[in-house]
Chains A and B, each alone.
Chain A
Amino acid sequence: MDALKGFTLLLLCQSAGEALARLAQWPLPGPVLGLVLLGALLQWPAVRAPIEAAAQPLLGHLSLLFVPVGVGVIGHLGLIGQYGVRMMLALVLSTWVGLLVAALVLQSLLPRDAEAPLAR
């Protein structure tokens, strides 16, 4: 029951986010505003257990949710035939740049003791 309540809350936050984005004409996707709204809602202890029950399975299988979009690659075979190598080059190199920059910046900013497991 908690998971169902939590899922309803997630959908309500997303809906409110979508509505807010349309009404205020903010350049933010609805789910992102929903995330912010849920962050505020979590101040209220009663919603925490339901949200945890819904968020855990959803985030635990996050990679499954990318499969349908990934299969969409077959809709762009024309573009890929034409620019595939160049697109892959841009994707791979920029991902490596992003990984290295994020890792090295954070490593240099965090104190050494951060290497130890963190208190939850």
Chain B
Amino acid sequence: MPNVTELWVYLAATPLFGLTATLGVYVAASALYERLERAPWANPVLWSVVVLALLLSATDTPYQTYFSGAQFIHFLLGPAVVALAWPLWQRRAELRTRAGALLLAALAGGAAASGSAVGIGWALGLPPAVIASLAPKSVTAPVAMGIAEQLGGIPALAAVFAVLTGLVGAITAKLLLDTARVRSPAVRGFALGTASHGVGAARALQVHPDAGAYAALALGLQVLLAALLLPLIARLF
């Protein structure tokens, strides 16, 4: 049926394809996640990425063609980072009274995540460009890309690392924090936002409102701290 093939070739090359596929797959993955009672392993970002990657491979669609449509969703990451000012501002009173503790925990957690990623990468003999792309991995993707570029990393790879880091946190944090006997939702949320940015924060938000609020707060702090400090620290080496 040449007509069907022609139609597919036409549709797959328009931005409509990437946009529709992303939203369609994500909506389906989210519905499944809800039905599975939000089990960590059913994370909708993970399964959306897997299904879309398989779909692109199976149909021989280049990533650029897919991205010409998906970029409309990707673009919203910028305004979303700006919008983080809102949850931060809403909790300004708490922020002020607990500023010291929160700042110290954000600094310690961020430094530990970034430092151990670079250290492990170096010890395992990864190339310098890959290590530089690992350094900002606990910061939300668009900011991680900007920082990686300044550090001599590969922005697109840094963004993938950031998303994978988010997924690792969202999927394993429950088990890890249960084992460490960290029970307060606020502390658990803050840790998730610090070590696995937006993907972790999205998970925290689904579990408990306090956890979600502190995750958004940690995410905002991590963005500010990493954007300010990582390039300065990299200059020392």
Describe A's contact surface by its main secondary structure.
helix
By a CB distance below 8 angstroms, the chain B residues around A96 are 168, 172, 176, 195
Whether B224 pairs with A72 at a CB distance below 8 angstroms is no
Known: A32-B227, A35-B82, A99-B191. A67 touches B73 (CB 8 A): yes
- Pairwise interchain contact B177-A89, C-beta atoms closer than 8 A: no
| Chain B neighbourhood of A104, CB < 8 A | 180, 182
B109-167 contacts to A (CB < 8 Å): 109-110, 112-114, 116-117, 120-121, 124-127, 130, 134, 137-138, 141-143, 146-147, 150, 156-157, 159-166
- With A29-B227, A66-B141, A67-B22 in contact, is A102–B83 under 8 Å at CB? no
Contact with B along A62-78 (1 / 0, CB 8 A): 11111111111111100
Asked if A14 and B78 make an inter-chain contact with CB atoms under 8 angstroms apart, the answer reads yes
Q: Count of chain B residues with Cβ under 8 Å from any Cβ of A? A: 114
A81 within 8 A of B: no
Task: State which of A56, A63, A94 has its C-beta within 8 Å of the C-beta of B198.
Answer: A63
Q: Pick the contact of A63 from B45, B57, B70 — CB < 8 Å?
A: B45
B1 proximal to A (CB < 8 A): no
Q: B88 → chain A, closest Cβ, in Å?
A: 7
State whether B76 touches A65 (Cβ < 8 A): yes
The answer, yes or no, to whether B13 is at the interface (CB within 8 Å) is no
Chain A residue, CB-CB nearest to B167 = A70
The answer to whether A35 touches B182, judged by C-beta atoms less than 8 angstroms apart, is no
- Contact A68-B164, Cβ < 8 Å, known A32-B81, A62-B202, A83-B130: no
Quote the shortest CB–CB distance from A45 to chain B (angstroms). 12
Is B2 positioned at the interface, with any CB of A under 8 Å from its CB? no
Contact assessment for B184 and A115 in the assembled complex, using a CB-CB cutoff below 8 Å: yes
Instruction: List chain B residues, Cβ under 8 A from A36.
Output: 85, 224
Asked if residues B126 and A87 are in contact (CB atoms below 8 Å), the reply is yes
Interface membership of chain A positions 46-58, coded 1 if the CB is closer than 8 angstroms to chain B and 0 otherwise: 0000011011101
On whether A90 and B124 interact (CB within 8 A), knowing A75-B63, A76-B157, A96-B172, the answer reads yes
Q: How would residues 10 to 35 of chain A score, 1 for a CB under 8 Å from any chain B CB and 0 otherwise?
A: 11011001000000000111111011
A109–B210 touching, CB < 8 Å: no
**Cα distance A98–B202 when bound, in Å?**
18
- CB pair A59–B187 under 8 Å, yes or no, is no
CA–CA, A114 and B57, complex, Å:
49
Q: Is A101 an interface residue (CB 8 A)?
A: yes
Asked if B184 and A114 make an inter-chain contact with CB atoms under 8 angstroms apart, the answer reads yes
Contact call B126/A69, Cβ cutoff below 8 A: no
Q: For the complex, is B8 an interface residue (Cβ under 8 Å from A)?
A: no
B22-A29 in contact (CB<8A): no
Q: Is A97 an interface residue (CB 8 A)?
A: yes
Flag if A71 contacts B52 (CB, 8 Å): yes
Contact B105 A100 (CB under 8 A): no
